[in-house]
Structure 1
Amino acid sequence: MILLYTFLVVNLIAFVLMGYDKKLAQNNKRRISEKTLLAFVSIGGTFGSGLGMLLFRHKTAKTSYLLKFWLIVAVQILIICFYIIKSK
C-alpha cells in the first residue's frame, strides 16, 4: 500500500512541476531544469509528467526532451517486462 501512495505522490509532483514550469516559461521566469523534470519521470512519475505534457502543452515540441522522456519510458517498460518474466 505504501508503494501505491508513493507512486501517486511522485506522479502528482511530476504533474504539478510540468504545470509550474509552463507557467514560469510563460512569464519569462527562471525555469525548472530538464534534469529535475526527467528525474521525476525516471523515479516513476511517468504518468503525471506525460499527462502534464499533454494538458499544459509543455515540452511537446522539444525533440531532445521528448527523446529522453521516451527513452526512460522504454527502459521502464523493459524493466517491468523483465520482472514479469522473471516472476513466472
Structure 2
Amino acid sequence: MVKIIVAYLIIINTIGFFTMLIDKRKAEKKKWRIPEKNIFFIAAIGGSLGAMIGMYVFRHKTKHWYFKFLFTVFLIAHMLILYYFLFKK
C-alpha cells in the first residue's frame, strides 16, 4: 500500500510541476492557458508540492496570494494524510 501511495505522489507531483511550466510557457506566448481550477484540482489531489515547486522555479503565479495559500493548505493536508498512512498502528 505504501509503495502505491508513494508512486502516486511522485506521478501527481511531477504532473503538478510540469503543469506550472506549461502554463508559464503558454502565458509567455500569449496562447490558451490552463484554467486555474485545473491547476488547483491537480494540487488538491496530491500534486501540491510539485505545483508549489514549479510555481517558484518558473516564477509563475507567485503574485497571486491564493495560489500560495491553497498550495500550502493542500500540502499540509497531504502531509497529514501521508503521515496517517505511514505511521498508523
Task: Compute the TM-score of the two structures, normalised by the length of structure 2.
Answer: 0.78
Alignment match of 1:68 (pick from 56, 67, 70): 70
Counterpart-to-counterpart distance in 1, 2:67 and 2:53 = 15
* Counterpart for residue 29 of structure 2: 27
Q: Which amino acid aligns with 1:57?
A: R
Counterpart-to-counterpart distance in 1, 2:40 and 2:78 = 13
| 1:74 to partner: Cα distance | 4.2
**Equivalent position SS for 2:46:** coil
Q: What do the CA deviations read for 1:12-48 (whole angstroms, capped 9, x no partner)?
A: 0000100000000000011101111111111111211
Counterpart-to-counterpart distance in 2, 1:8 and 1:79 = 15
Gaps of 5+ in 1: none
**Equivalent position SS for 2:61:** coil
How many matched pairs?
86
**Equivalent position SS for 1:7:** helix
* Counterpart for residue 13 of structure 2: 11
Task: Compute the TM-score of the two structures, normalised by the length of structure 1.
Answer: 0.79
Give RMSD over aligned pairs. 2.1
| 1:52 to partner: Cα distance | 0.3
Counterpart-to-counterpart distance in 1, 2:81 and 2:4 = 20
Q: State the 4+ residue runs in structure 1 displaced beyond 4 angstroms.
A: 77-81
Gaps of 5+ in 2: none
